[in-house]
Amino acid sequence: MTELKIKKGSSKHSAYDLRDPNAAAEERHTLAVLVENEPGVLARVIGLFSGRGYNIESLTVAEVDHTGHRSRITIVTTGTPAVIDQIKAQLGRIVVVYDVHDLTVEGHAVERELALFKVAGQGNDRIEALRLAEIFRANVVDSTLESFIFEMTGTPGKIDAFAELMRPLGLVEVARTGVAALSRGAE
Amino acid sequence: MKRQMTGAKMVVQALKDQGVDTVFGYPGGAVLPIYDEIFLQNDIRHILVRHEQGAVHAAEGYARSTGKPGVVLVTSGPGATNAVTGLTDALMDSIPLVVLTGQVPTFMIGTDGFQEADTVGITRPCTKHNWLVKDTARLADTIHQAFHVAKSGRPGPVLVDIPKDVQFATAYYVAPAQAKTSHYQPRLKGDQDAIKALVEMIESAERPVFYTGGGVINSGPAASQLLRELVEATGFPITSTLMGLGAYPASGKNWLGMLGMHGLYEANLAMHGCDLMINIGARFDDRITGRLQDFSPNSRKAHIDIDPSSINKVIHVDVPIIGDVGHVLEDVLRLWKAGGRKTNAAALSKWWARIEEWRKVDCLKYRPDQKTIKPQYALQRLEALTKDHPSRYICTEVGQHQMWAAQYLGFDDPNRWMTSGGLGTMGYGFPASIGVQVAHPDALVINVAGEASWLMNMQEMGTAVQYRLPVKQFILNNERLGMVRQWQELLHGERYSHSWSESLPDFVKLAEAFGAKGILCKDPADLDDAIMEMLEYDGPVIFDCLVEKHENCFPMIPSGEPHNKMILGENVDTKNAIKSGGAVLV
């Protein structure tokens, strides 16, 4: 074995350790995926993300065209530009996927998320929570003497900001729907 | 005219209307109504395997050797889970299969019924698509869709899960012509601007190489013919992946041999040193690229692939062309001929001169032995004694023997080479050889095997004998898991952890126990006669070829290394190559 220059006993030669150490920075993209509304379609999409190691930041799904059996899945994901391209190509080849739109690339999409916040507190904290809710145009949808539930619609950033402000004022629980998004303009 | 029939009858009718002549399967409770319908007809031949994994691999062999989808019928629960390895294998190698599974009745789904498994859930990631049919009225349409999806675009396995009550219930049958048109219609024609850019790159290239893969074979025989014309028209060298062998003939003058981890020295150095790489229907697999950062560093790359997700998946390419290989090559050739275009002949002849220097290294050289059979020698003799056979088909298992078979056997036609590439499934070759022989009853079908792989699906001897399939099992027996042993020697300090077998069967007696013929050969001097005996016997043969136990498979690119860091066998003379080619050999 005169030609062999591999260190004996080395295990560094794993076939799968091939990732580029100088990988590009990650980006956040919102994808709208139009799918046939059939059983298991969401599992196909989620399975693709988990099986190939992609990130899901948020995911919403609902039927948008009852007669055409179409559902719209809105996925917020992060990855390097190459990974984002791969995600779109992989989604596109699922047989029951009609169309994949990258709303982040197609122009500044309108993104909205609905959130519910339960805030418990008394005295000044309670008054401050209500005052901030007005500033953020959050509605009170439930009220007891010790708590509020606020309802708010906005961008994920706005919802994050409101949650941050509520935390010292007695934030108990948050429920978020995930992002729904549409591209701007007539098309 | 619409006809009413039971779901079970519908299955058989739909298969007939799809032109199916053979089904590989294994009965069980949840598919009994379909088996009853199979019993009542003679148009579709059912091949009873001995294990569901064998059925799927046999269907793969059938599909690869005919270009038609392979069809499998198995029962629910364990029948379906046993099919999973075959499905994954077919998905990785883009083999069209339609697998029908029985399921517990719809009203029992979710109750952990006897032989119930979440088949569509389990097989979702290992099929191209799958369906659970809950209504007999949709059954025929779904089966037609299944064939359409399996064959269209990048082919792959699909699965239709059919609950038992759906098989018993009655509904109107939908013929293929009346079936819903699928929105799934992958694009076949490539982008014309990209094709024009490729043609211009071909004109100016100084050190080009064609790197072709299984996509050429999947595109059909016409694509292989067009590839040959393009290679002839340009005079460029051509190499292929394991999956693409036979698309360009091994006897062709521009052939460099297979590339990749155990590919030929000249093929890999041409890939490393080229200035234009034209990837046709291959997918930059890690066994091909080695270390990505150093993969063919100075080349512009074009990539023809029908699957958009193959483009830029691991290697960034300059000219991506999404489309069917046959369609794209036709456009490339038309454009090439129309323009009266010429390659850079001076640069090309210099490039060929360098390739000839690499060829002189003779990387497949090995040290012959008078006493023991070298596995390479066994394959050279097999090649010499069978290559003129008019219809020779070769299957392999997975491991060293597979790489040696790819190195030492030559394929002049597509669809003659059946091997598990992407998944590397030990146990693939024997059932695959059965599927090939079923499809081509008069052909010579040889499965080049290692003893360990072969034992993984040896139960299929029963199938071979039952259907009088004269498959030749050419076992290179080194009593080792040769490739595992090789990696342990090179990378794990010669600690041979569990890579040999202390109790192997007597293969001759095993063959006889099944009612087949067994041949033992251990002396190189007897080899030719023994091979001839195997070829002349009209029936299945197990050929137990005792070979050198510690032979390593070279050349080899250690994984995670680039192409020019190839290691060669101990008898290969590399001095000239380093001096003349300037290639860095480590």
CB B433 within 8 A of CB B395: yes
pLDDT at residue B379, as a whole number: 98
Q: Locate the domains of chain A by residue range.
A: 27-102, 110-182
3-class secondary structure, B126: helix
Name every residue whose Cβ is closer than 8 Å to that of residue A164 and which is 6 or more positions away in sequence.
none
CA dihedral B341, B343, B344, B346 (to 10 degrees): -120
Could you identify the residue written with the tokens 């063959």? B511
Secondary structure string (H, E, C) spanning B8-50: HHHHHHHHHHCCCCEEEECCCHHHHHHHHHHHCCCCCEEEECC
Has B164 been annotated as catalytic?
A: yes
Residue B577 lies in a domain: no
Q: What is the pLDDT averaged over residues B231-259?
A: 98
Could you identify the residue written with the tokens 């020295």? B265
* CA A40/CA B65 separation, integer angstroms: 33
B481 shares a domain with B397:
yes
Residue B195: φ, ψ to 5°: -65, -40
Residue B452 in this model has a pLDDT that exceeds 50: yes
* CA B338/CA B334 separation, integer angstroms: 6
Give the fold, CATH level 3, of A110-182: Alpha-Beta Plaits (3.30.70)
pLDDT at residue B474, as a whole number: 98
B315 shares a domain with B398:
no
Q: Scanning every residue of chain A, which has its alpha carbon at the shortest distance from the alpha carbon of B129?
A: A95
pLDDT at residue A34, as a whole number: 96
Separation in Å, CA B72 to CA B14, B20, B389: 14, 11, 30
Pick A27-102's CATH classification: 3.30.70.260, 3.40.50.9100, 3.40.50.460, 3.40.50.720. Answer: 3.30.70.260
Where would I find the H helices in B67-138?
78-82, 84-92, 119-123
* CA B334/CA B312 separation, integer angstroms: 27
pLDDT at residue A22, as a whole number: 60
Cis peptide before B27 (omega within 30 of 0): no
**Residue A19: exposure state from Cβ atoms within 10 A (0-12, 13-18, ≥19):** exposed
- Nearest Cα of chain B lies from the Cα of A57 at a distance, in angstroms, of 22
Has B483 been annotated as catalytic?
A: yes
The catalytically annotated residue of B114, B178, B232, B570 is B114
A27-102 and A110-182 in the same fold: yes
Number of domains in chain B: 3
B32 shares a domain with B97:
yes
**Cβ–Cβ contacts within 10 Å for residue B149, how many?**
23
DSSP B191-254: PHHHHHHHHHHHHH-SSEEEEE-HHHHHT-HHHHHHHHHHHHHH---EEE-GGGTTSS-TTSTT
In the structure, what pLDDT confidence band is assigned to residue B573 with cuts at 50, 70 and 90? low
CATH number at residue B341: 3.40.50.1220
In the structure, what pLDDT confidence band is assigned to residue B562 with cuts at 50, 70 and 90? confident
Q: Cβ B560–A44 below 8 Å, yes or no?
A: no
CB A165 within 8 A of CB A134: no
Could you identify the residue written with the tokens 């059912």? B46
pLDDT per residue as tens digits for the range B23-59: 999 999 999 999 999 999 999 999 999 999 999 999 9
Beta bridge partners of B351: none
Question: Which of B35, B97, B76 is CA-nearest to residue B431?
Answer: B97
CB A50 within 8 A of CB A87: no
Could you identify the residue written with the tokens 């269907």? B59
CB B437 within 8 A of CB B463: no
pLDDT per residue as tens digits for the range B152-167: 999 999 999 999 999 9
pLDDT per residue as tens digits for the range B480-513: 999 999 999 988 899 999 999 889 999 999 999 9
Question: Which of B148, B99, B107 is CA-nearest to residue B126?
Answer: B99
Nearest to B309 among A43, A47, A86 (CB): A86
Residue B308 is given by DSSP the state G
Secondary structure string (H, E, C) spanning chain A: CCCCCCCCCCCCCCCCCCCCCCCCCCEEEEEEEEEECCCCHHHHHHHHHHHCCCCCCEEEEEEEECCCCEEEEEEEEEECHHHHHHHHHHHHCCCCEEEEEECCCCCCCEEEEEEEEEEECCCHHHHHHHHHHHHCCCEEEEECCCEEEEEEEECHHHHHHHHHHHHHHCEEEEEEEEEEEECCCCC
Residue B110 in this model has a pLDDT that exceeds 50: yes
Token duo for residue B65: 């050797």
* CA B407/CA B552 separation, integer angstroms: 13
CA dihedral B298, B299, B300, B304 (to 10 degrees): -150
* CA B552/CA B570 separation, integer angstroms: 10
B485 shares a domain with B401:
yes
End position of a domain, from candidates B150, B178, B206: B178
Q: Which domain holds residue B262?
A: 192-360
Q: Scanning every residue of chain A, which has its alpha carbon at the shortest distance from the alpha carbon of B493?
A: A9
CA dihedral A51, A53, A54, A59 (to 10 degrees): 50
Q: Provide the pairing of β-strand B541-546 with B472-477.
A: parallel
Residue B184: φ, ψ to 5°: -80, 95
How big is the CA angle at B479 (ends B474 and B482), to the nearest 5 degrees? 85
B432 shares a domain with B323:
no
Q: Which residues of B381-415 are buried (b: 16+ CB within 10 A; e: fewer)?
A: bbbeebeeeeebbbbbbbbbbbbbbbbbbebeebb
Separation in Å, CA B177 to CA B17, B18, B140, B150, B160: 10, 10, 11, 17, 20
Q: Cβ A2–B183 below 8 Å, yes or no?
A: no
Residue B207 lies in a domain: yes
Residue B581 in this model has a pLDDT that exceeds 60: no
Q: Cβ B560–A13 below 8 Å, yes or no?
A: yes
Has B52 been annotated as catalytic?
A: yes
The ipTM estimated for the assembled molecules is 0.90
pLDDT per residue as tens digits for the range B228-244: 999 999 999 999 999 99
**Residue A39: exposure state from Cβ atoms within 10 A (0-12, 13-18, ≥19):** exposed
Nearest to A18 among B292, B490, B586 (CB): B292
* CA A105/CA A112 separation, integer angstroms: 17
pLDDT per residue as tens digits for the range B160-209: 999 999 999 999 999 999 998 888 999 999 999 999 999 999 999 999 99
Taking the Cβ of residue A177 and every Cβ of chain B, the question of whether any pair is shorter than 8 Å is answered with no
Name every residue whose Cβ is closer than 8 Å to that of residue B432 and which is 6 or more positions away in sequence.
B57, B58, B60, B61, B64, B395, B418, B447
The catalytically annotated residue of B115, B225, B459, B466 is B115
Residue B583 lies in a domain: no
B289 shares a domain with B253:
yes
| B chain contacts of residue A13, beta-carbon cutoff 8 Å | 491, 558-561
Token duo for residue B350: 């210099």
Residue B545: enclosing H or E segment and its boundaries?
strand B541-546
Q: Cβ A15–B560 below 8 Å, yes or no?
A: yes
Q: Scanning every residue of chain A, which has its alpha carbon at the shortest distance from the alpha carbon of B124?
A: A44
Separation in Å, CA B488 to CA B484, B499, B558: 6, 9, 12
Token duo for residue A42: 């969401």
pLDDT at residue B90, as a whole number: 98
Has B456 been annotated as catalytic?
A: no
Q: Cβ B120–A18 below 8 Å, yes or no?
A: no
3-class secondary structure, B416: coil
B337 shares a domain with B408:
no
* CA B57/CA B427 separation, integer angstroms: 9
B275 shares a domain with B158:
no
Residue B569 in this model has a pLDDT that exceeds 70: yes
Q: What percent of chain B is modeled with pLDDT above 70?
A: 97
CATH number at residue B497: 3.40.50.970
Q: What is the pLDDT averaged over residues B354-366?
A: 95
Q: Which residues of B46-60 are buried (b: 16+ CB within 10 A; e: fewer)?
A: bbebbbbbbbbbbbb
One-letter amino acid identity for B435?
G
Q: Cβ A92–B558 below 8 Å, yes or no?
A: no
Cα dihedral sign, B566-B570-B576-B579: positive
**Cβ–Cβ contacts within 10 Å for residue A122, how many?**
11
Taking the Cβ of residue A66 and every Cβ of chain B, the question of whether any pair is shorter than 8 Å is answered with no
| B chain contacts of residue A54, beta-carbon cutoff 8 Å | none
Name every residue whose Cβ is closer than 8 Å to that of residue A66 and which is 6 or more positions away in sequence.
none
Q: Tell me which residues of chain A have a pLDDT lower than 50.
A: 1-19
pLDDT per residue as tens digits for the range B75-107: 999 999 999 999 999 999 999 999 999 999 999
Secondary structure string (H, E, C) spanning B236-292: CCEEECHHHCCCCCCCCCCEEEECCCCCCHHHHHHHHHCCEEEEECCCCCHHHHCCH
pLDDT at residue B112, as a whole number: 96
B384 shares a domain with B354:
no
Interface test with B, best of A3, A7, A46 (most B CBs within 10 A): A3
**Cβ–Cβ contacts within 10 Å for residue A4, how many?**
17
B109 shares a domain with B40:
yes
| A chain contacts of residue B121, beta-carbon cutoff 8 Å | 40, 43
Separation in Å, CA A63 to CA A38, A72, A76, B570: 10, 6, 18, 65
Could you identify the residue written with the tokens 């006889």? B512
Q: Which residues of A153-173 are buried (b: 16+ CB within 10 A; e: fewer)?
A: ebebebbeebeebbeebbbee
B407 shares a domain with B329:
no
CB B448 within 8 A of CB B424: no
* CA B364/CA B9 separation, integer angstroms: 55
Nearest to A47 among B124, B293, B560 (CB): B124
B202 shares a domain with B167:
no
End position of a domain, from candidates B360, B393, B428: B360
